[in-house]
Amino acid sequence: MGELSADRLLSQRSRAVNASGIRKVFDLGAKIANPINLSIGQPDFDVPPDVRQAAIQAIQSRQNGYTVTQGIAPLRERIAADLRAECGSPLPVLITSGVSGGILLALMAALDPGDEVVLGDPYFVIYKHAARLVGGVPVFVDTYPDFKFRADRYEAAITPRTKILVLATPSNPTGVVLADDELRQAADLAERHNILLLIDEIYNKLNYDGECPCSLRHAPHRTLLLRGFGKSYGMTGWRLGYAAGPQFLIEEMTKLQQYTFVCAPSMVQHAGLAALDADISGHVDDYRRKRDLVARLLAGTFEFAKPSGGFYFFPQAPKRFADATTFVEQAIAQRVLIIPGSVFSERDTHFRLSYATSDKNIERGCEILCQLARG
């Protein structure tokens, strides 16, 4: 029998993807006694009681088998009605296994090998790697220093091979929320170049300076909206999201889901229906206060674009350090867990800080970071 060989048996596409830098910090944190964890990318509140009970009831009433691939009808119909009221767009809906599942299905449906995906830099980690996994080519647009959408920068990155333009609002890692005019410019750009807009709104309910504008309003016939339940309702491990967009794309994603995820978890779909009626305004108010606390503690020491949504800051690392990774290593040595910006960017100049934690952690962590920055 021949000796097993990774070079022979593992695919090039798999080996081209690095292990998540976020997970590396999580693993490191598990080895540190009493870390001050400002790296976590999930809410620090639990699933609302009514939503937990809906999941339990679904299990006890034997809703444990496969659902139809596109998701249970009551959930799809409720989401479609809510989107019609919010955005005026009666679009078909597919229930997905988290927003990440929706992203992968969309890229599989749209991309041929060599097709290009335009991404704002910084970006959430899955965009680049999922594009490469299906044979696509990520093309990066520098959005520093304020992480806003500038149509001229994006247009310069579009070529005849471009198929998709990806946006996120609110953004991970920056927390920036795109204004309605920025979304209109993105829609105009997609129209001119006959490309798809893929817009990730997983944090859409966590907004602190007004409503998150509906991205479907300007070009619903070429916009795929992806939203989910994990960040807003504390159910990240339940893996529930949805996609709404053009009929031809939703049909193709549904077909591909049959051969990949099969369907979103059955009992979680019933819980999702209950979640749509849950009141999370108290959590939104709490995160707004935490956002303002971090801004006050970091002001004068770090440069940052103040976020309007999600639960992240993306400050610039002090220039006296060789790069942001060096600064992050120094912070971790003092038990403060943050994520180097190079995980989310082609640059290594910034770091991500999460304020989905206690005020005590925020205050102590920011104190240590400021002390490091000042030397």
Amino acid in the structure at residue 273: L
More confident residue, 278 or 16: 278
pLDDT above 70 (res 25): no
pTM as predicted: 0.93
Q: Could you report the per-residue pLDDT of 154-207, keeping only the tens digit for each?
A: 999 999 999 999 999 999 999 999 999 999 999 999 999 999 999 999 999 999
Q: What's residue 212's pLDDT?
A: 84
Q: Are strands 312-313 and 336-337 parallel, antiparallel or unpaired?
A: unpaired
Which residue is associated with the tokens 């893929």? 198
Q: What's residue 23's pLDDT?
A: 62
Q: Could you report the per-residue pLDDT of 73-93, keeping only the tens digit for each?
A: 999 999 999 999 998 878 999
Set out the domains of the chain in order of their start, with CATH numbers. Answer: 6-46+280-374 (3.90.1150.10), 65-275 (3.40.640.10)
Q: Could you report the per-residue pLDDT of 86-142, keeping only the tens digit for each?
A: 988 789 999 999 999 999 999 999 999 999 999 999 999 999 999 999 999 999 999
Q: What's residue 28's pLDDT?
A: 66
Distance of CA 126 to the CA centre of its chain: 8
Task: Look over the chain and give the mean of its residue pLDDT values, rounded to a whole number.
Answer: 94
Q: How far apart are CA 14 and CA 21, in angstroms?
A: 16
pLDDT above 70 (res 1): no
Q: What's residue 12's pLDDT?
A: 83
